[in-house]
Structure 1
Amino acid sequence: MIADSDTGIRLADDVKLGRNVRMFGPVNLYGCDIGDESRIGTFVEIQKNVKVGARCKISSHSFLCEGVTLGDGVFIGHGVMFVNDRFPRAVGPDGSLVSDGEWECLPTLVEDGASVGSGATILGGLTIGRNAMVGAGSVVTRDVAPGATVAGNPARPMK
Structure 2
Amino acid sequence: MDPTGNVGLLKCIYNIWKKPSKKAIIIYRWAKKMHDKNYKHIPIFLTNKLVVNYGSFISLNANIGRNLDFRHINGIVIGDGVTIANNVVIYQQVTLGGKNLGDFQKGNYPSIEDGVTIFAGAKIIGNITVGANSIVGANSVVINDVPANSVVAGIPAKVVKKLSY
Compute the TM-score of the two structures, normalised by the length of structure 1: 0.66
- Give the share of equivalent positions with the same residue, in percent: 29
Residue equivalent to 1:77: 91
Shift of 1:135: 0.1
Residue equivalent to 1:155: 157
**Whole-angstrom distance in 2 between the partners of 1:84 and 1:105:** 9
> For this pair of structures, how many residues does the alignment match?
122
* Structure 1: segments with no counterpart, 5+ residues: 1-6, 17-22, 29-40, 89-99
Residue equivalent to 1:49: 61
Compute the TM-score of the two structures, normalised by the length of structure 2: 0.63
1:6-29 deviation digits (Å, cap 9, x = unpaired)? x9968473058xxxxxx9x9415x
Shift of 1:83: 2.2
Change (3 A) 1:67 1:103: closer
Change (3 A) 1:103 1:72: closer
Check whether the contact 2:103–2:109 (CA below 8 A) recurs between aligned residues: no
Higher helix fraction (1 or 2): 2
Higher mean C-alpha deviation, range 53-62 or range 124-133: 53-62
Check whether the contact 1:84–1:124 (CA below 8 A) recurs between aligned residues: yes
**Whole-angstrom distance in 1 between the partners of 2:103 and 2:147:** 32
**Whole-angstrom distance in 2 between the partners of 1:138 and 1:147:** 17
- The CA RMSD over aligned residues, in Å, is 3.1
